Amino acid sequence: MSTDKFWFAIYVKSRSEKKVARELQINSIEHFLPTIKVLKQWSDRKKLVEEPLFRSYVFVNVNTEEFYKVVHTPGFVKYVSFEGKAVPIPNVQITAIKQFLEQTEPEKLNDADWTYGKKVEVISGSMTGLMGELVDIKGKQKVKVQIETVGSAILIQIPKSKLRIL
């Protein structure tokens, strides 16, 4: 049995990312649940809440034995796979996501033609080189980009100043 650890993305039940992460912690399984703070508005108040960056996904760093242990975690649905085989995620991509979440630099306004469906490339920061498709415009400064990784699309919100339209 291999003791080498690899990162995998697991798909979990809707709105159960934090519960799954707690269960993984209890079972001593290394995991990563990237979260962002979002200002939510209710009828009577506004509040900053922490939400998963990738809805319904949690990342796990496991060896062969732990790989099968994860399957029994409450809320687990499946490993993200390609042609029926779970696909490992390179460490560099996990590191890039962590670094992206740590960045808090101010953005500059970019006057390019920001329209839905445009192909874009990340040109600065830890995710440099990733390509995707513009799927939503979040005000004047940020956009939401769909990026294909491991046979599955993930959505990230990123400043326009870090993107270039292809």
Quote the pTM value: 0.65
pLDDT reported for residue 106 = 38
Of 53, 55, 58, 56, nearest in space to 156 by CA = 53
Task: Report the pLDDT averaged over residues 67-82.
Answer: 95
More confident residue, 157 or 76: 76
Residue 120: predicted pLDDT: 82
Set out the domains of the chain in order of their start, with CATH numbers. 6-89 (3.30.70.940), 119-165 (2.30.30.30)
d(CA 145, CA 153): 10
Where in 24-141 does DSSP place strands (E)?
A: 31-32, 35-41, 46-52, 57-62, 76-79, 81-82, 85-86, 119-122, 131-138
Q: Check: CB of residue 56 under 8 Å from CB of residue 4.
A: no
The more confident residue out of 102 and 140 is 102
Q: Integer distance in angstroms from the first to the last C-alpha of the chain?
A: 45
Q: Model confidence over 19-53: pLDDT tens digits?
A: 999 999 999 999 999 988 877 788 888 888 888 88
Residue 95 host element (H or E):
helix 91-102
Q: What is the pLDDT of residue 14?
A: 93
Nearest to 9 by CA among 51, 56, 52, 63: 56
Comparison of pLDDT for 126 and 16, the residue scoring more: 16
Between CA 52 and CA 32 the distance in angstroms is 10
Q: What is the pLDDT of residue 38?
A: 76
Contacts of 133-136 with CB under 8 Å at 24 or more apart are 134/165
pLDDT in tens, 92-128: 888 888 877 776 543 443 455 777 788 887 777 667 7
